[in-house]
Amino acid sequence: MENTRKRKGRIPFGYEKDPENPKFLKAIPDQLAVLGEITELVAARVLSLREGSAWIYQKTGRPLSYQGLKNIVDQEVMQSSHG
């Protein structure tokens, strides 16, 4: 599992502090998989942002606001349109 350097501020959804080195983040594959699945459904307009946020909480037990989900979806859509 790959570690990434921690940015200042909140820990992004799908990551946690690396217990061995608090300056780095450790990916949580299960949460990232659910986030990817829900992001695709929201981007395809199958789910609303609020529904997606609720599903994420139900599947992972970790909250993600609908606005936080919107930021992630928007970022994914921007990246896919430029790549």
Q: What is the pLDDT of residues 7-40, one digit of tens each?
A: 567 899 999 999 999 889 999 999 999 999 999 9
What pLDDT is stored for residue 60 in this prediction?
A: 97
Q: In which band, very low, low, confident or very high, does the pLDDT at 3 lie, cut at 50, 70 and 90?
A: low
Number of DSSP helices (H) and strands (E) in the chain, helices first: 3, 3
* pTM score of the predicted model: 0.84
Segment 49-81, tens digit of pLDDT: 999 999 999 999 999 999 999 999 999 888 887
